[in-house]
């Protein structure tokens, strides 16, 4: 059993039917839809046919359809395949949690739910997972409120909600929430909590990426205006870490309010610029050439036999029939990617059709290779994102760490997933998590943890290297360390090994005052002494100037007194004891 699961999941022995004093056998668990007792989705023209919250409020069917959430559609959210109820507006489509025993099967790292509260605040309680081997585990299932919950963590938000007296222009939210599982056991059923304000629409076991290793990933840092792109092909350049003989890609419509259609997609090993070494390999999605990405959902391409060399540049090309006026994006790619003129250029080997340069990564969030030992996730801010490193040179410290892993045999050659977001904070959202927005510094590490760590392919270890932006914004060490501890606790609950890195100095930068320095040294003292993490990487000690510990060594400073240059980033990666990455 994974260590974190042992830490907070209580395993109970199953009472054997017929033993002396045993209670009568409980009724057999049923599929979730057999318990549906509440109607959330209604037709705006017939508001009385749905009453989600006991006051006549409902989710407008037209708004759900506009977001791509149509009856019976299977949506992949947080890495789990969840089916929106195949019910017409006005028909029961969810269950109020009241201790029902629900049949669900599978083996994986988490049990995922599409759920929401209607009680004015978060609702939930104790639930219980039953495994096929007769054991049980106690878990807690809760979800935020459909009208007041955080937009930063929602799966989808609708532009309005229905009431008996008409439409209200409020953002109605739906959430995908997960509870950890014992990954080595087959799930048989789950007992829902006794929490009538908690509504459950769907549930499924998330497989956690079994049989795959993440070789590249990027976080969605915001949803900026783009193009608009109509009938254009994007050719993105990404550098993989681990290699393999099979590949699959992940596209995310994170934060969006409307679907995006990918008409076709290919993958190739890059030769130079936008040119491929050979003919790009065609990807499929459920056997189809393209795929519709509903708002807030993601899509994985079908597994493809394709040799991905370790440490190679890949070209991921996808055609957007359009129009696309805004797209979930990772802003700071530090790689030149490409945009075509009109037409589907995904199969083109040469780069001749690609007339414009992109400096961001829209929609694409992951590349996985078959087999391998799993992945290390690096959760960070601009220093992990590589800000101020050389463009097109792959000199971020995660790139250097991946190269070290490939060059040795002492520990597994993990994939390295860079989830740094420039400007990101631990406890405060820079991007509100909804709508088109200029700031692309992302939602907080606490709010993006489920998506950028827990749902990552075959994650084994996470390194948390964040906090300086919180301190520069006035957050005190007590608040910051509470946030860091929460990240450690959530990682351990999933059975992940979790490391922390100390915060590097920023002396000489505007805003890095003596008061900020005091909070930084206090945070680092806590990190070095706390038992919240499995190990601590002392990046402060690596970069600080011995003659002036509040400042970075001149040879490591990029010049802005906050971000290391190429030499400093290499020093960070070279300082990591690779044995600390092994669970």
pLDDT of residue 518: 98
Q: At what angle do helices 566-575 and 397-406 cross, to 10 degrees?
A: 50
Tens of pLDDT, residues 276-332: 999 999 999 999 999 999 999 999 999 999 999 999 999 999 999 999 999 999 999
Tens of pLDDT, residues 177-201: 999 999 899 999 999 999 999 999 9
Rounded-to-integer distance, Cα 241 and Cα 309, Å: 9
Tokens of 457: 């392919």
Distances (CA, A) of 194 to 8, 97, 101, 125, 563: 20, 6, 11, 7, 50
pLDDT at 7 over 70: no
Distances (CA, A) of 182 to 10, 111, 210, 292: 11, 10, 14, 33
Do strands 10-12 and 136-143 pair parallel, antiparallel, or not at all (unpaired)?
antiparallel
Q: Are 266 and 254 in contact (CB under 8 A)?
A: no
Strands (E), 364-458: 364-370, 375-380, 415-420
What pTM did the predictor assign? 0.94
CA quadruple 99, 104, 109, 115: dihedral sign = negative
pLDDT of residue 26: 65
pLDDT at 4 over 50: no
Determine the average pLDDT of the residues in 106-128.
97
* Mean pLDDT (the chain, rounded): 95
Q: Are 30 and 188 in contact (CB under 8 A)?
A: no
3-state secondary structure of 67: coil
Tokens of 545: 């100037």
3-state secondary structure of 571: helix
Rounded-to-integer distance, Cα 119 and Cα 159, Å: 20
3-state secondary structure of 494: coil
Beta carbons within 8 Å of 252's beta carbon, 6+ residues apart: 220, 293, 297, 298, 328, 363, 365
pLDDT at 100 over 90: yes
Tokens of 10: 């209580």
> Dihedrals φ, ψ of 259, to 5°?
-70, 160
pLDDT of residue 47: 87
Do strands 354-358 and 260-262 pair parallel, antiparallel, or not at all (unpaired)?
unpaired
Rounded-to-integer distance, Cα 256 and Cα 262, Å: 15
Beta carbons within 8 Å of 371's beta carbon, 6+ residues apart: 211, 212, 213, 244, 245, 246
Rounded-to-integer distance, Cα 316 and Cα 583, Å: 32
> Dihedrals φ, ψ of 278, to 5°?
-140, -175
Of 289, 244, 232, give the one whose Cα is nearest residue 263: 289
């Amino acid at each position: 059993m994974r260590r974190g699961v042992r830490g907070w999941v209580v395993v109970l022995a199953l009472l054997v039917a017929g033993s002396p004093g045993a209670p009568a056998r409980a009724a057999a668990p049923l599929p979730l839809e057999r318990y549906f007792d509440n109607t959330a989705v209604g037709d705006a023209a017939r508001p009385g046919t749905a009453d989600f919250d006991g006051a006549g409020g409902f989710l407008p069917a037209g708004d759900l359809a506009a977001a791509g959430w149509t009856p019976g559609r299977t949506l992949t959210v947080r890495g789990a395949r969840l089916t929106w109820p195949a019910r017409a507006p006005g028909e029961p489509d969810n269950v109020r949690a009241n201790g029902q025993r629900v049949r669900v099967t599978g083996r994986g790292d988490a049990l995922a739910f599409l759920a929401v509260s209607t009680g004015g605040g978060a609702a939930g309680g104790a639930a219980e997972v039953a495994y096929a081997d007769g054991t049980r585990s106690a878990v807690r299932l809760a979800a935020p409120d459909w009208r007041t919950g955080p937009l930063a963590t929602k799966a989808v938000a609708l532009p309005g909600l229905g009431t008996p007296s008409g439409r209200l222009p409020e953002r109605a939210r739906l959430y995908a929430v997960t509870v950890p599982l014992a990954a080595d056991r087959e799930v048989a059923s789950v007992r829902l909590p006794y929490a009538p304000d908690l509504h459950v629409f769907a549930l499924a076991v998330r497989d956690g990426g079994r049989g795959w290793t993440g070789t590249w990933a990027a976080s969605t840092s915001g949803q900026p205006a783009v193009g608009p792109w109509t009938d254009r092909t994007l050719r993105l350049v990404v550098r993989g870490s681990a290699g393999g003989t099979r590949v699959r890609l992940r596209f995310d419509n994170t934060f969006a309010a409307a679907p995006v259609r990918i008409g076709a997609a290919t993958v190739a090993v890059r030769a130079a610029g936008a040119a491929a070494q050979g003919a790009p390999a065609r990807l499929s999605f459920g056997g189809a050439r393209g795929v519709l990405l509903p708002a807030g959902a993601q899509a994985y391409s079908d597994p493809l036999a394709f040799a991905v060399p370790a440490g190679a540049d890949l070209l991921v090309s996808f055609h957007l029939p359009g129009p696309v006026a805004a797209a979930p994006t990772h802003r700071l790619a530090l790689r030149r990617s490409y945009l075509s003129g009109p037409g589907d250029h995904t199969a083109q080997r040469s780069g001749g059709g690609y007339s414009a340069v992109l400096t961001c990564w829209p929609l694409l969030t992951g590349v996985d290779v078959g087999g391998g030992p799993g992945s290390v996730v690096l959760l960070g801010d601009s220093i992990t994102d590589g800000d101020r490193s050389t463009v097109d040179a792959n000199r971020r410290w995660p790139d250097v760490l991946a190269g070290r892993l490939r060059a040795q045999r002492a520990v597994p050659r993990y994939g390295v997933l860079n989830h740094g977001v420039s400007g990101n904070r631990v406890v405060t959202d820079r991007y509100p998590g909804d709508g088109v927005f200029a700031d692309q510094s992302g939602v907080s590490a606490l709010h993006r943890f489920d998506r950028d760590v827990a749902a990552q392919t075959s994650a084994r270890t996470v390194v948390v290297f964040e906090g300086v932006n919180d301190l520069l914004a006035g957050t005190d060490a007590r608040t910051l360390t509470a946030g860091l501890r929460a990240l450690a606790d959530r990682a351990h609950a999933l059975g992940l090994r979790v490391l922390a890195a100390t915060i590097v100095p920023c002396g000489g930068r505007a805003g890095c005052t003596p008061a900020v320095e005091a909070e930084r040294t206090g945070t680092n003292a806590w990190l070095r002494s706390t038992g919240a993490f499995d190990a601590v990487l002392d990046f402060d000690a690596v970069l600080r100037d011995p003659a002036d510990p509040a400042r970075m060594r001149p040879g490591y400073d990029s010049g802005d007194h906050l971000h290391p240059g190429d030499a400093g980033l290499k020093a960070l990666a070279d300082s990591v004891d690779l044995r600390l990455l092994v669970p």
